[in-house]
Amino acid sequence: MDRMINIAQIGVGYWGPNLLRNLILNKSCNVRIAVDIASERRKFVHNLYPTIAVSSNAEDVFNDPAINAVVISTPVATHYDLTIQALKSGKHVLVEKPMATTVAEVEQIGRLSKDNDLVAMVGHTFLYNPAVRYVKRLIDSGELGDIRYIYSQRLNLGRIRADVDALWNFSPHDISIIQYWLDNPHPTSVERTGMAYVQEGIDDVVFMNIKYPKNILVNIHVSWLDPHKVRCMTVVGSKKMVVYDDIAENKVAIYDKGIDRMAVLGEHMDFDNSSAATFNYRFGDPVWPKIQWEEPLQVEVEHFIHCIKYGTKCLSGVEESKKVINILNAR
């Protein structure tokens, strides 16, 4: 099926130009119109891509029967309403993260997309990152052994937002990655602790603790008030450990390190006797695998188009989005 997909984009602000560039580069896409309420953003699109129509009114998209799909890259509070309007007008949707702000809203999006046989996909871009997918293969192969715990840090100084807090800005990435690595389980508990220092009611730093089945612990630390830019996740397994550092040259490092209880001496365990048990300490050399790089956003757009053309299930569809939103809303 080689038909061209006519696409519109709503929102060409901070992240929007990256999406627009990848839509234009995709040979199966015909970008007909870009919508933004800011005149300077419309001028930006017109100067860079003069063949694309621009508008300040999203209704120009919803009322155009020739448009097959809509990409939404607007403030979080608008995601749900715009997605619902796009689906009601018979158009497939790729909406930037998060898909909505409540589980009920995501479920409504899911019902509409199913009833109208339309794709509803959220832009959890890191699921299309080759390094993240490499770690997924390591976990699935059993090379790391049983997963014991995962911790992530997504930190920097700025960019502070007023529409969402640091948790909703940053942690959808980490939560979606962890859910993907662990095959989308339901957590047994979620706790978050945050603090607002700069703007009242908007947390600048958040620590989230998640417990999963099989005794897997997760800690997520996000902040836009940190002296360091950090984009790092560590997975500790019973056999090996892996570090995924998104801003490092070698994004994945595998460590053959660990501690295992080997044997108990005597008939009964004696926790007061240090000689009652022996432990095996492993200190193997680290390995930095060579990973073939592709731009994640390019892969994401290709996946969206493939799902439209062939009716395949989205990797970052409604069900995956619903679990992420449920964790984000936990208190």
Its CATH class, for the domain covering 5-126+296-317, is alpha beta
pLDDT for the residue numbered 158: 87
Judged by DSSP in three states, 232 sits in: strand
User: Which are the contacts of 114, defined by CB distance < 8 A and separation ≥ 6?
Assistant: none
Q: In the chain, where does DSSP find H-type helix?
A: 16-25, 39-48, 59-62, 79-88, 103-115, 130-141, 166-181, 296-310, 318-328
pLDDT for the residue numbered 44: 96
Domain residue ranges of the chain, discontinuous segments joined by +: 5-126+296-317, 130-245+252-283
pLDDT for the residue numbered 274: 54
Q: How far does Cα 263 stand from its chain's mean position? A: 42
Which portions of the chain are predicted below pLDDT 50? 267
| CATH 3.40.640.10 for the 130-245+252-283 domain, yes or no | no
pLDDT for the residue numbered 259: 83
